[in-house]
Structure 1
Amino acid sequence: MATMSTAKRRTTDYRIDPFDLHLFAAVVAHGTITAAASAVNLSLAAASARLKALEDATGSHLLERSKSGAAPTDAGRALLRHANRVLAELESLHVEMASFGHGLRGTVRLLCNTAAMTETLPRTIGQFLVKTPDLDVDVQELPSEAVIDALRRGTAELGIVADHVDTSGLLAQPWVDDRLVVLWPEHWSLGRRRSIAYGELLEHPLVGLAWDSGLSRFLAAQASRSGRVPRHRVRLGGFDAVAELVAAGVGAAVMPESAAARFGMDGTRIVPLSDAWSRRKLLVCMTPAGSGLSSVCALADALLKMQPTLIGR
């Protein structure tokens, strides 16, 4: 009898409010209960009470509180992994039911690297959105490594990455070629060379995208492997603006070949990079959980069937 009573009590205890999971994830993201409470529109007292109730429900100490803020315990980190998956599934539930509701709109979260975000995706996703008016797509640019990490943590079900990252545990299919080249000021002499190594390019001033863009982070990682730090004269928001300053002679720039071909102008020339990592393929990646969601599969299938003009061709 005691065993049955315990089992019933535990079943009741574990009826966790998804909002409390959202609050807990906000605490971990913001680092303090005060900031998390503000982010989810709760008073500090109400947020503290809900977090205490969450700890009681799970039977675990979830947060280490200090004067500097709050950090998850080992149990808290385990809960966070599950919370991210649960919240993502709830979002997907709304997406799945959108076609049955009246006026309810759903959203699929798509994470992608810079090449996909700026060059390929805008030209290929429009047809899908026109055909599925009840489904929106939330696109976020991240480095390929961060996209993979988010997929594995369950905070998204679909992503586009370069093939230099480890996609084990995910469903990955090749999408388009992605070749990185140098847009070079024409009056800078390169002799008759047909390519340049990235290490040698680092000896020259550069123009690039914002430091936190996926491409900038990827190139910074490549430079660090040789102990070099790129010298950027300026960073701008788009390849079109970057190309203008290359033409003016401010510096050279690394970008997808399609962007260089589209935005290159008088005063610039395209020089291929000789590094093996500059020739990549973009992959469409899906989580095993995402493969069971019709909305996610519909977007993935649409991207793969569109077969956009290959980058670098």
Structure 2
Amino acid sequence: MTVPLNRSLLPHRISTYDLHVFAAIAEAGSITRGAESMHLSLAAASTRLQKMEHALGTELLHRSKLGVRLTDAGRTLLRHAGRLERELEILHAEMAAFAHGIRSTVRVLCNTAAMTEYLPPLIGRFLAEHQEVDIDLRELGSQDVLSAMRQEQADIGIVADYVRTEGLSTRFFREDRLVAVFPSVRRPRQTTSVQFADLLTHPFVGLPSESGLSRFIQNQAIQYGRGIHYRVRVRSLDTVVSLVADEVGIAIIPETTARRLASPKIDLLPLEDPWANRKLLLCTASDAVPEGPAAVFLDYLSGSALAR
């Protein structure tokens, strides 16, 4: 015999609407005003709030005649509610893209050099020719790209060849040489190249500490038991070079960037260190051949390397 399900005994499941109600109450500082903003009766809003607290096993609000204020648990829930709302907005946007005929997204992870120098013009041409495709592009350090690729978090990865790529298929993409950039007035005289260790007494300008290039350079400094004094960190390599030209400090950047932004106010010197001469590699999972748009984009990137 089937026992009928008694839904009154089931725990309350918190819905996204519950979170909207809670956020409205928290913002208003009052259950009454929060309920009004959600077009709910005071009783209905209070019931939803009580069921959430029961489900979570803790109070979310301190109640008083003057209104309500968040408990520690309430602040935590509000923070997660905001994050979930943003993720839902992203979800709706992506689903809307499908509804408008954009049927595929290629996930690409890459290091700083690929993100700033090599991919932008290629992606522009590719997307113009493939209107049905989106590209989800994110920057990570090369080691983090490999970790994500091994967990199948992306279709294509682009890394510098100083990392170990066992378990992945690789193809050559670009040469990526790093150089030191100086204000012209401070360039070491009578030299045509420089060792990284000799630069560590200079103040630097760089990208944020979480960027792949900054982490790579910092790791090289650690090999010498030294730190790097950054006078300022900024979001783009263009701004880095501009600050070097203003004599704020020196920088280590891809040679392609330095030459693209060349001016009489800056000079570049090749680094003598072997690690400064890098190759960028296209990576894919070795046990799965990319299909569909991912395969098309991979071939497009590979073809651009051969065409150089």
Q: TM-score range by the shorter chain?
A: 0.5 to 0.7
Deviation at 1:104, TM superposition (A): 4.6
Cα gap change, 1:194/1:104 in structure 2, threshold over 3 Å: closer, same or farther?
closer
Cα RMSD after superposing both structures: 2.6
Contact 1:290 1:296 in 2 (8 A): no
**Percent of matched pairs sharing the same residue:** 40
Rounded to whole Å, the distance in 1 between the matches of 2:167 and 2:225 is: 32
* Secondary structure at the counterpart of residue 192 of structure 1: coil
Q: In the alignment, what sits opposite 1:132? A: 130
Q: In the alignment, what sits opposite 1:281? A: 279
Cα gap change, 1:46/1:134 in structure 2, threshold over 3 Å: closer, same or farther?
farther
Q: In the alignment, what sits opposite 1:193? A: 191
Deviation at 1:120, TM superposition (A): 0.3
Match for 2:105 among 71, 90, 107? 107
Rounded to whole Å, the distance in 2 between the matches of 1:117 and 1:229 is: 26
Superposed, 1:8-47 pairs within 5 Å as: none
Rounded to whole Å, the distance in 1 between the matches of 2:132 and 2:240 is: 36
* Secondary structure at the counterpart of residue 119 of structure 1: helix
Q: Deviations over 1:53-98 (max 9, x none)?
A: xxxxxxxxxxxxxxxx9xxxxxxxxxxxxxxxxxxxxxxxx99xx7
TM-score by length of 1: 0.65
Contact 2:179 2:252 in 1 (8 A): yes
Match for 1:123 among 112, 121, 124? 121
Cα gap change, 1:128/1:191 in structure 2, threshold over 3 Å: closer, same or farther?
same
Deviation at 1:309, TM superposition (A): 8.2
Rounded to whole Å, the distance in 2 between the matches of 1:198 and 1:280 is: 15
Q: Deviations over 1:23-62 (max 9, x none)?
A: xxxxxxxxxxxxxxxxxxxx798899xxxxxxxxxxxxxx
Q: In the alignment, what sits opposite 1:264? A: 262
Structure 1: any 5+ residue segments left out of the alignment? 1-42, 49-68, 70-93
Q: In the alignment, what sits opposite 1:297? A: 295
Rounded to whole Å, the distance in 2 between the matches of 1:150 and 1:260 is: 30
Rounded to whole Å, the distance in 2 between the matches of 1:252 and 1:173 is: 33
TM-score by length of 2: 0.66
Q: Deviations over 1:196-235 (max 9, x none)?
A: 1111111101111111111001111111111111101001
Contact 2:112 2:139 in 1 (8 A): yes
* Secondary structure at the counterpart of residue 299 of structure 1: helix
Q: In the alignment, what sits opposite 1:178? A: 176
* Secondary structure at the counterpart of residue 307 of structure 1: helix
Q: In the alignment, what sits opposite 2:231? A: 233
Cα gap change, 1:45/1:190 in structure 2, threshold over 3 Å: closer, same or farther?
farther
Deviation at 1:266, TM superposition (A): 2.1
Rounded to whole Å, the distance in 2 between the matches of 1:309 and 1:182 is: 28
Rounded to whole Å, the distance in 2 between the matches of 1:116 and 1:290 is: 23
Deviation at 1:307, TM superposition (A): 2.7
Structure 2: any 5+ residue segments left out of the alignment? 1-51, 58-75, 77-93
Rounded to whole Å, the distance in 1 between the matches of 2:257 and 2:287 is: 34
Contact 2:172 2:305 in 1 (8 A): no
Deviation at 1:102, TM superposition (A): 7.0
Contact 1:180 1:255 in 2 (8 A): yes
Match for 1:203 among 193, 201, 209? 201
Deviation at 1:130, TM superposition (A): 1.5
Deviation at 1:153, TM superposition (A): 1.2
After the TM superposition, which parts of structure 1 deviate over 4 Å for at least 4 consecutive aligned residues? 43-48
Cα gap change, 1:308/1:234 in structure 2, threshold over 3 Å: closer, same or farther?
farther
Higher-Rg member (1/2): 2
* Secondary structure at the counterpart of residue 166 of structure 1: coil
Query: Counterpart of 1:286 in structure 2: which amino acid?
Result: T
Query: Counterpart of 1:211 in structure 2: which amino acid?
Result: S
Contact 2:127 2:134 in 1 (8 A): yes
Q: In the alignment, what sits opposite 2:216? A: 218
Cα gap change, 1:289/1:102 in structure 2, threshold over 3 Å: closer, same or farther?
farther
Deviation at 1:189, TM superposition (A): 4.3
Rounded to whole Å, the distance in 2 between the matches of 1:144 and 1:191 is: 34
* Secondary structure at the counterpart of residue 255 of structure 1: strand
Q: Deviations over 1:89-123 (max 9, x none)?
A: xxxxx99xx7xx87253211100000000000002
Contact 1:243 1:265 in 2 (8 A): no
Rounded to whole Å, the distance in 2 between the matches of 1:309 and 1:44 is: 62
Contact 2:179 2:269 in 1 (8 A): yes
Rounded to whole Å, the distance in 2 between the matches of 1:156 and 1:248 is: 39
Deviation at 1:253, TM superposition (A): 0.5
* Secondary structure at the counterpart of residue 126 of structure 1: helix
Q: In the alignment, what sits opposite 1:163? A: 161
Rounded to whole Å, the distance in 2 between the matches of 1:218 and 1:166 is: 15
